[in-house]
Structure 1
């Protein structure tokens, strides 16, 4: 089992206001790191029965309010889907995990409810054992369901800029 639970985030929400270093750190940690680990471990996982890769995304991979963090987690979601398709013939199960806030040091400054880490582990392991492709909290399920909505419904703040 390979668990990719990397996460780098910056305080600024504006993707245009991030420094070059912040952008590079987020791309390397949130996208390239998990992708390169999956590539490195793919031969080992492919050679064993019941192998699993678990990639932790974020609810904001479906909702672009986190600047570069959202963008890199969206890229990881896409890479996870690609890995899933590429590794399926080798019977490597790939699970993507989307959650809002988990009660960890990374979310210490975040306001609002936070998922207990033990609950997250149960959610993920239940998804793995059931052969599901995703494990998500309620917020993430709702955000994903909204992806087919018109862009103005997803981002009502865009209407404010048309006036």
Structure 2
């Protein structure tokens, strides 16, 4: 998958990592970048095509697919993160909201755009996941459950879309310097760096991108005697 002359569709593209992906795609020579957000008016990046899209809204997904029939790269970036302990009152309702956006939204977008990608030569799907696909911290259960499910889904989509020539790449990253982690005192990656790395590795055909040290350490631990999730 080459970014030069690609037509890229990015969800959650009005801020944070999504906006950084749009900037990186333009810098890499993409012919067109669709920047999707719940409020298209919030997309203020020059050179992109704003698209109104709530990834949990089937009608808006259908409209976006019809509008953007030239897409060759789908970046499933939109997501939510809300803290709740596993046993906290209301935790299951919080988890359901995460699943609707972080899993079923990703799933629905990929289903909708799969025929578009096939018609345009195969292309690629890049799913933004997390180091929390593999480990659950106190208070992160709803988010971790959704990202673990999205990882499993990405692996299934990769197998199913291979026959039509569509590449599926998963991006795992720890904390980034975005609104989602504002006020959190921890090392954070710059969204611009993560976006550039992810797109560069996508171009090499990578099925998985580990964007920072913590993601690489946790992934390596999974095959060890004491994996990170056991701690």
Question: TM-score, normalising length from structure 2?
Answer: 0.63
2:88 counterpart (17, 41, 45): 17
Matches within 5 A, 1:60-139: 60-65=132-137, 66-136=140-210, 137-139=212-214
1:58 counterpart (109, 130, 139): 130
1:36 counterpart (105, 108, 112): 108
Structure with the bigger percentage of helix: 1
TM-superposed deviation, 1:46: 1.4
CA RMSD of aligned residues (A): 1.6
Distance 1:152 1:41, change over 3 A: closer
Note the alpha carbon deviations across 1:91-111, whole angstroms, 9 max, x for none: 111110000011111111322
Distance 1:152 1:80, change over 3 A: closer
Q: Which runs of 5+ in 2 are unaligned?
A: 1-72
Cα distance in structure 2, aligned partners of 1:15 and 1:69: 11
Note the alpha carbon deviations across 1:56-98, whole angstroms, 9 max, x for none: 0011111122211001100000000001110011111111000
Cα distance in structure 2, aligned partners of 1:138 and 1:18: 34
TM-superposed deviation, 1:16: 2.4
2:219 counterpart (119, 139, 144): 144
Q: Which runs of 5+ in 1 are unaligned?
A: 157-163
Contact 2:136 2:229 survives alignment (8 Å): no
Total equivalences in the alignment: 155
Note the alpha carbon deviations across 1:25-49, whole angstroms, 9 max, x for none: 1110111100111011111111222
Identify which of structures 1 and 2 has the higher relative contact order when contacts are C-alpha pairs closer than 8 Å and 6+ apart: 1
Distance 1:82 1:109, change over 3 A: same
TM-superposed deviation, 1:8: 1.3
Cα distance in structure 1, aligned partners of 2:107 and 2:185: 30
Cα distance in structure 1, aligned partners of 2:124 and 2:104: 19
Cα distance in structure 1, aligned partners of 2:227 and 2:169: 30
Cα distance in structure 2, aligned partners of 1:16 and 1:88: 40
TM-superposed deviation, 1:148: 1.9
